[in-house]
Chain A
Amino acid sequence: MANEKILDVTYPGITSWQWHATLFSILGNDENAKKWIFSNYIQLRCYTINEIFTGDDMLLTDMMPGSSSLKECPYLIFSLLTKEQVESYCGNIIDFVIKTIDLNGYVYGVFDEAKILCDAEVDYKFPHELFIYGYNLDKEIFYVGDFTFGEHYTYSTVSFSDVERGYEVINAPEDHMFKDDYKGTRGLYVILKNNETTYYDLDITLIKRTLKEYLNCEDTKDHFRMMRNRFNDTTFGVDVYDKVIEQIDKQLHAEEPDYDIRSLHIVYDHKVLMLERIKYLMANDYLPFSQSLVDEYETVVENAQTARNLLVRISITGEIDRADRFAKYLTDAKNTEIQVLSQVLEQLEEK
């Protein structure tokens, strides 16, 4: 066993949720995986849930596939291990993570990051997914990726003892990765790269269908009813813009304003990825090259970015009176996006 092993990661272009940052950290630079990535992540959806830390209503906005991407991406081999398996195989979490990394497996699971961040004992928990991709035995540290250690997604290190403490105190109902689908279970994901062979071609049929569903705000989940059919309160496609505008207005004008940026961040990342997809389709002759189409879509990215950064500004300065500008930036982004993606769809249909 080497004293140090660090698996390949690339700082992800998409960071809005931990599952996306993890997948893009592992596969973001892989040419084969790009074909799967650009065939997916087209549809946007949102619905209201109870926030896991506060219990308040939260608008959960995400691209499809969402957190299930780590299980479903053909360029990853996913295994689910229960806490009992981890303990039975290796005795403790630290040995399990080290052995998994030695076998080129990344580890992903829910840890109490309050224990990781605070030297002193604290009487609250902050359960959050931690992505572990390396270790150093001499320094007794793991290499990790997370949002918790900085103002943005950061690669950092965490001591063996903090990871152990952070893992042990989370019980099954607090493990939000497992509780929705595997109630009463606590565990980890082990993720291996599976990218040496082409398992998935760019799927123009899927891209066209999902673009139509995105533009027409149709329920993409309907295609997956054999796997899950629990939610009926979901908004799809470009209607997500209106839900996000409504939510921001509500949260900023609450008695105690809330500066939750997550929906705006995923909307922005969706535009960044869509622009990359358009360029990729043009570079690979699925679409005729058009600088004006690229330029127009860049204004969509810019408006989404401006809306997100405006909320960051308001969270710093408390200038709630600036909030009326969100609607303009997001409505402009929506209208231009509908126009550009309608052209993209038309050109793909003509091919």
Chain B
Amino acid sequence: MDKDLIKRQSLEVIEQIIPELDAATVDTSASLKDDYDVNSVSIIKVLVGLEEKFHVEFEDSELALNKYESFDDVIESVEKKMN
């Protein structure tokens, strides 16, 4: 699957889980914590949602907010798992 499609579909999942976010306007390089108020629970919901969407699996140790600075980091980790 190409990177653009992974990014677009990831953002759709993220928008479903965090409805305050607009997939069309979200700044994927901005800080998850400071700019989007993502917390230790909502990041796990996002990662579990991405697992279901892309049929990948995150290690238990990867289910942590401090592993990701931005949505770009989250999407990149999905890309790595898919490839």
Contacts and interface: CB of A to CB of B under 8 A. Distances in A.
Interface of A: 150-152, 302, 305-306, 309-310, 312-313, 316-317, 322, 325, 329
Chain B interface secondary structure, helix, strand, loop or mixed?
Answer: helix
Given A150-B39, A151-B42, A312 B63 contact: yes
Nearest to B41: A151
Given A152-B39, A309-B40, 20 more contacts: A151-B39, A151-B41, A151-B42, A152-B41, A302-B61, A305-B64, A306-B60, A306-B63, A306-B64, A309-B44, A310-B60, A310-B63, A312-B41, A312-B44, A312-B63, A313-B44, A313-B48, A313-B63, A316-B48, A325-B60
A259 B64 CA distance: 18
B45 interface: yes
Contacts of A317: 48
Interface string B34-55: 0000011110110010000000
Interface residues of B, number: 11
Contacts of B42: 151
Closest 9 CB pairs of A and B: A151-B41, A309-B63, A152-B39, A306-B61, A312-B44, A306-B60, A310-B60, A316-B48, A313-B44
Interface in B37-83: 39-42, 44-45, 48, 60-61, 63-64
B39 to A, nearest CB: 5
B76 to A, nearest CB: 20
Nearest to A303: B61
7 contacts: A150-B39, A151-B39, A152-B40, A152-B41, A310-B60, A312-B41, A313-B44
